[in-house]
Amino acid sequence: MAGPTTARRGEKKSPSGPPSAPEERGRRFRWARTPLRAPGRRGLIIITVCAVLLGAFGAWAFYASDWLRLERVKATGTGVLTPREVVDAADAPMNAPLISVDTDALAHRLRARLPRIKSVDVERSWPHTIGLKVTERTPELVMRAGGKFVEVDAEGVRFATVTAAPKGVPLLEMAVSHAPSPERFGVDRLRRAAVQVAQDLPPAVRKDVRKVRVRSYDSVTLELAGGRTVAWGSSEQGAEKAKVLAALLKAARDARHFDISVPSAPAVSGS
């Protein structure tokens, strides 16, 4: 016969003793805040001495030591000019402290000695180098000067004299001694107007231009390959005139003279 123990075998025994406390999920850490204190008199003295020593060391390193002196000048961006020409014209103070080199003076000296240079960026490259990044002027037209040629850039600036005219650059002929209103349309302005005409031409037309002749502000004439001529008129409405001329050259291949001074009413003559 089974005793009471057997009869209650399926019952769960209640735990004895006090209930256990729930497990802690994690501890919370709190950072201790340390109050900031102003340095005392001794600390201020130490900080001041260190700052003075650091400044003195920096001044010595930049101006008196051999660590940061100019030892090399490098020129880039040249085309017609050579890097050697640019470096020689810059005349940088070699072995001087790099920080004391006057970069503006170098740029001014280069533009004065080499007019072909349109702009130049002068940069320090630590610890021993000055870099000269050059942008050269390019000729839009050339003018005769004795047996040589003077190059004229996109701004109408005469910047260099060469013995031979650059290939593909039209010749500019100025005949303005009796031009009307010279006080208003001076030679410099007329030269810029001629350059503007050349720039307005599309490449397909420009390659055939041999000469740009200027007589006055409203009398610009082009001479093309094969003896053809173009009465351009003034430099105004240049883009529209260039389109009309390009169309006429294709439509009237045998024509010898084109008048586009009034682009809305062009005229063609000769055969």
Indicate the pLDDT class of residue 40, thresholds 50, 70 and 90: confident
Does 30 reside within a domain?
no
Tell me which of 5 and 43 has the higher pLDDT: 43
- 184 pLDDT exceeds 70? no
Are 159 and 263 found together in one domain? yes
Dist CA 267 CA 256 (whole Å): 11
Q: How many domains does the chain have?
A: 2
Are 151 and 261 found together in one domain? yes
* pTM exceeds 0.85 for this model: no
Tell me which of 177 and 85 has the higher pLDDT: 85
The CATH number covering residue 130 comes to: 3.10.20.310
Are 235 and 224 found together in one domain? yes
Domain limit, last residue, from 136, 151, 175: 136
Question: Over the stretch 42-81, which tens digit does the pLDDT of each residue have?
Answer: 777 777 878 876 776 566 545 656 668 999 999 999 999 9
pLDDT at 7: 45
Domain containing residue 225:
139-269
Domain limit, last residue, from 83, 117, 136: 136
Domain limit, last residue, from 136, 169, 189: 136
pLDDT at 208: 95
**From 1-5, 169-173, 220-224, the region with the lowest mean pLDDT:** 1-5
Are 145 and 193 found together in one domain? yes
pLDDT at 63: 61
pLDDT cut 90: percent of the chain above it: 66
Tell me which of 25 and 1 has the higher pLDDT: 25
Are 152 and 263 found together in one domain? yes
Are 145 and 192 found together in one domain? yes
